[in-house]
Amino acid sequence: MTATLPGTAFSLASLGLRPVINASATLTRLGGSLMAPETVAAMAAASASFTDIPELQRAVGAEIARMTGNEACYVSSGAAAGIAVTIAGCIAGQDPDLTTKLPYLDGVARRNVIVHKGQRNGYDFAARQTGARLVEVGGSAADVAAAIDDNTVAVLWFAGTHFFKEAAPVEEVVEVAHAAGVPLVVDAAAQIPPISSLWHFTREVGADVAVFSGGKGLRGPQPTGLVLGRRDMIENARFHGSPNYSIGRPMKVGKEELAGILTAVGLALQVDEQAQLAGYETTVRLWLDGLQGIPGIATERGYPSEAGQPHSRAVVRLLPAAPLTRDALIDTLWEGTPRIAVGLIDDDPNAIALNPQTIEGDEALTVLSRLRECLGA
């Protein structure tokens, strides 16, 4: 009888862990999204041989650029890494001497990145880690224009409706940035769907670079991202990425991930997006109808999603008569069997949100059943 070596047959159970039904979102902490079998197969195929990684990176990038109608593409190790190498390229270009000064940039004044104050968030660490100095401005395009000077290397704009309230529209920002000869970088990590985002910000709006997560709506490998846009800026970003010795050297993308994201993009471009969105709507309606009439709660259709994607969510608000508080409900769902993750509503401490984007098969019914059980229905 042959003994099984530790680690040779992976399962969550073997590590004392449990799977999660994800009714929250394509969150990194929950694993992003689930890859299609074709994507997994492409990664397995790529794992079977050695190859020249820079050549593969260029070939994959060229193919993704072709498929999306962009000048060029660099595959990064996630969207945040894509921002980091892009901003490094804006500061240092392909100058070897300037590159060695990253991230301290002693004596380097030209490293300012303009960002709306209302768009500051945890992801701007990706820009700051290069040594960039973030310059906060107010919510108008005029504020952006007034802040641009000889030390400005880029304007960083965050997509998503939750970032719109205190920021000028991207169409206005790109106009004032380009009038001053400054590139606009758009963080569009979670802006798929719609799939047209892959070319909307660059080809239609005119942004110089748009950065996307590969492991969210594209359903590619979690540690991938797409940097799409102007060829010269993509080449500058590439200069600072792995395996080159710059700020992005630790941000490695393997041959398996490169094969996976190429396959995932190809599959995503073939999806019937209207049918997909209609399916999401059916799931939301199932939840809303199934929770109707339960004492102590109020339900409503929330639109768009938490990231501003064009699909709805089911919002469940816990009223004073509810048997559980919001936090107690979240904990009960998480600690129960099966383990279920739900989303939060930023401005409502008494509500949860159910997102259909990450629901598979009969999981929608399981979520509904557990909610009804927890709420005493």
Around Cβ 267, how many Cβ atoms within 10 Å? 17
What residues does each domain of the chain span?
Answer: 13-31+272-374, 50-268
What does pTM read for this prediction? 0.94
What contacts 119, CB < 8 A, 6 or more positions away? 157, 158, 163, 166, 167
Query: What average pLDDT does the segment 322-344 reach?
Result: 97
- Tell me the percentage of the chain whose pLDDT exceeds 90: 94
Helix (H) or strand (E) holding 44: helix 37-46
Q: Tell me: the pLDDT tens digits for 268-301?
A: 999 999 999 999 999 999 999 999 999 999 999 9
pLDDT band at 1 (very low <50, low <70, confident <90, very high): very low
Assign 3-class secondary structure to 281-305: HHHHHHHHHHHCCCCCEEEEEECCC
pLDDT value at residue 160: 84
**13-31+272-374 CATH fold:** Aspartate Aminotransferase, domain 1 (3.90.1150)
pLDDT band at 217 (very low <50, low <70, confident <90, very high): very high
Quote the mean pLDDT of the chain.
96
Whether the pLDDT of residue 5 is over 80: the answer is: no
Q: Tell me: the pLDDT tens digits for 10-38?
A: 899 999 999 999 999 999 999 999 999 99
Nearest to 212 by CA among 230, 188, 228: 188
Q: Tell me: the pLDDT tens digits for 132-150?
A: 999 999 999 999 999 999 9
pLDDT value at residue 164: 77
Q: Could you give the 3-state DSSP secondary structure of residue 255?
A: helix
CA 205 to centroid of chain Cα atoms: 20
Q: Which residues pair with 351 in a beta bridge?
A: 317
pLDDT band at 6 (very low <50, low <70, confident <90, very high): low
Supply the angle between the helices 37-46 and 255-268 in degrees, to the nearest 10: 150
- Tell me the percentage of the chain whose pLDDT exceeds 70: 98
Whether the pLDDT of residue 307 is over 60: the answer is: yes
Whether the pLDDT of residue 374 is over 80: the answer is: yes
Is the domain spanning 50-268 CATH 3.30.70.60? The answer is no
